[in-house]
Structure 1
Amino acid sequence: MSGEKTRLLVHKPDADYEVGYAKPPKDTRFKPGQSGNPMGRPRGAKNKRPALNEERLKDIILDEAYRDITVRDGDRNVTVPMAQAVMRALAVNAAKGQHRAQRLFAEMLATTERQNKQLSDEWLQTAIAYKVDWERELQRRAQMGITHLPAPLPHPDQVRIDMNKGTAWIQGPMTKDDLKELEVWRERRKNFEDERDYLLEHLDTEKNRKTRKFMEDDLAQTQKILGLIDQVLDRIGY
């Protein structure tokens, strides 16, 4: 092969078609009705109107407001949503004495606190009305001997109200699903309590050192699990 020349097959254009400026070879030209960029934006996407139930501008604003960006915080970089970065910059400028930033920040803060106070007052009144109405209903059932009706969820005894602070909260299951979850965790806690009591009962009388060490480790693990279950029950609120 050293003495042979390699032959290259060269595509010859048609004799009657001149290739040159603005005249590419036929094989490389775009085909009629076929996009030159099949993965690009669909035809008409730029001018497509949103549906009647869409508010595209609001979606764009929210996407930008909660898009994460990296900002400098002292001697380190932190990642925060755009809205938080803007509010932080506004607060910093207000603290530096810029009157416009101070006025805008004070107005936004006052509006936010006023809205939160309004929501808190509405929730407090709703909780008080719920508790009073259901206590009357349960008292009526007791006086009439009605026992077949289900108890309300949440139970009025679980509606906690602090009039000094003006706050209200639910300490207990609020839905049937919450109640089922509560029963599951109660059953689990009862099982681990039984295991703990068994270990405590037999630990002092166990003479075998290895068995005793195993029981002590098991007891420590059981106590740890009981603590975790109590945290879950506190989260559920009962």
Structure 2
Amino acid sequence: MSGTEKEQSNLPEPYRVGYGRPPVEHRFRKGQSGNPRGRPKGATNKPKVANGFGMKAAEEYLRQEAYRTVTIREGDRHIELPAIQAVFRAMGVSAMKGNRFAQKTMAELITTLEQRDHDQRFEAFGIAIDYKREWSEKIDRAKELGLPVPDPVPHPDDIVINTSNGEVRIEGPQTKEQKDHYEKAHARRVEAQECVSHFAAKYRRSKNEEKKAFYLEEWHFEQRMFDIINDAMRGRHKMKLVDRSYHPDASRPGETFKAFAEDRKKPPHERWSNDYVEG
């Protein structure tokens, strides 16, 4: 091999343009984004739908389409509705204009919904009656035999059944956590009643105006605590306060919890209820 050929063999191989080998001027540069303009406007990360074993991806996609917001024109204004509501509205308009297919479809849909609602209410009504009867019998039997009285959640006495319209409501705790909360509230209300009676008696017996003012303030404080708790209770859990003060500054039953709830919506430093509860 001649000296010239040897020198040429040591030279770097020239860059050949081809598949996967773009021209140098079009290659990505180190430290520079391959998309300098950024993501196009409106391009968002679409929520992923689970489509693994046992998943019904098609149903989830259908729900997403049914409840996505669309804009429709109604008269001179544009309104936003879920897509499924827009479909039903268009069907209703067609039905009112005399479209027989739309009329028939809408009537069948409404009839099916009403029948399903009736069946569910009837089933819940029957379950409530059976539950109330069975637990009431167990409680009565335990009392007759002198055995520990069961205390189920919900308690049968808290289940109110309206036989005229099939309505069922529960006026008491429905879970163990709610029951624990009720018991704490009951205990605090009993304490408030005891304090009300104590300070009411002190106020009535005292001849010292300064002490009377103190006793009256404490009386009203505990009365308000009682009313806040009692107003939140329902049905058989309500109590009547003994030694109630009817002073203009005293709380009133049926109004105190509502005022308390409204007060809790204010910033912490503006709440009067911070004097009664923490936070």
TM-score range, shorter chain: 0.5 to 0.7
Q: Distance in 2 between matches of 1:95 and 1:226?
A: 56
Unmatched 5+ stretches in structure 2: 1-11, 40-49, 239-279
Distance 2:26 2:228 in 1: 71
Match of 2:24 in 1: 25
**AA at the equivalent of 1:161:** I
Shift of 1:72: 3.9
1:65–1:145 CA distance, 2 compared to 1 (3 A): same
Tell me if the contact between 1:173 and 1:182 (Cα under 8 Å) persists in the aligned partners: yes
Indicate how the Cα distance of structure 1 residues 77 and 134 shifts in structure 2: closer, same or farther if over 3 A, else same: same
The structure-2 alpha-carbon separation of the partners of 1:72 and 1:177, relative to structure 1 and needing over 3 Å to count, comes to farther
**Counterpart for residue 3 of structure 2:** none
Pick closer, same or farther for the CA change 1:185–1:77 going to 2, 3 Å. Answer: farther
Q: CA deviation at 1:144?
A: 0.7
**Seq. identity, %:** 29
Amino acid at match of 1:125: G
Aligned residue for 1:168, secondary structure, equals strand
**What amino acid is the match of 2:91?**
L
Cα drift, residue 120 of structure 1:
0.7
Shift of 1:182: 2.2
Query: 1:226 and 1:88, CA in 2 relative to 1: closer, same or farther beyond 3 A?
Result: farther
1:234, distance to aligned residue in structure 2 (A): 4.8
CA distance in 1, matches of 2:107, 2:15: 75
CA distance in 2, matches of 1:191, 1:68: 53
Conserved? CA contact 1:94–1:101, under 8 Å = yes
Is 1:113 matched up with 2:114?
Answer: yes
Q: What letter corresponds to residue 67 of structure 2 in structure 1?
A: Y
After superposition, the CA RMSD in angstroms is 4.4
Deviation readout 1:158-202 (Å, 9 max, x if unpaired): 111111212222221111111122234445656777888869x97
Paired position in structure 1 for 2:133: 132
Do the aligned partners of 2:125 and 2:166 also contact (CA within 8 Å) in 1? Answer: yes
Q: TM-score with structure 2 length normalisation?
A: 0.55
2-side partners of 1:178 and 1:63: how far apart? 35
Partner-residue secondary structure (3-state), 2:113? helix
State whether residues 185 and 233 of structure 1, in contact with CA within 8 Å, keep that contact through their aligned partners in structure 2.
no
Q: Is the 8 A contact 2:139 2:150 kept in 1?
A: no
Q: Distance between the aligned counterparts of 1:26 and 1:84, measured in 2?
A: 54
TM-score (norm 1): 0.63
**Change in 2 beyond 3 A, CA 1:27/1:165:** closer
Mapping of 1:1-238 within 5 angstroms? Answer: 16-17=14-15, 24-25=23-24, 28=27, 50-73=51-74, 76-147=77-148, 149-186=149-186, 232-234=232-234
Query: Higher relative contact order by CA 8 Å / sep ≥ 6: 1 or 2?
Result: 1
Shift of 1:101: 1.1
Aligned pair in 2 of structure 1 residues 128, 101: CA closer, same or farther (>3 Å)?
A: same
Name the SS for the 2:127 alignment partner: helix
Structure 2 CA distance for aligned equivalents of residues 23 and 140 of structure 1: 90
The CA deviation at 1:15 is 8.8
1:105, CA displacement in angstroms?
0.7
After superposition, what is the alpha-carbon deviation per residue over 1:31-77, rounded to whole angstroms, capped at 9, x for unaligned? xxxxx89xx9xxxxxxxx94221111011011111222333455544
Aligned residues: 202
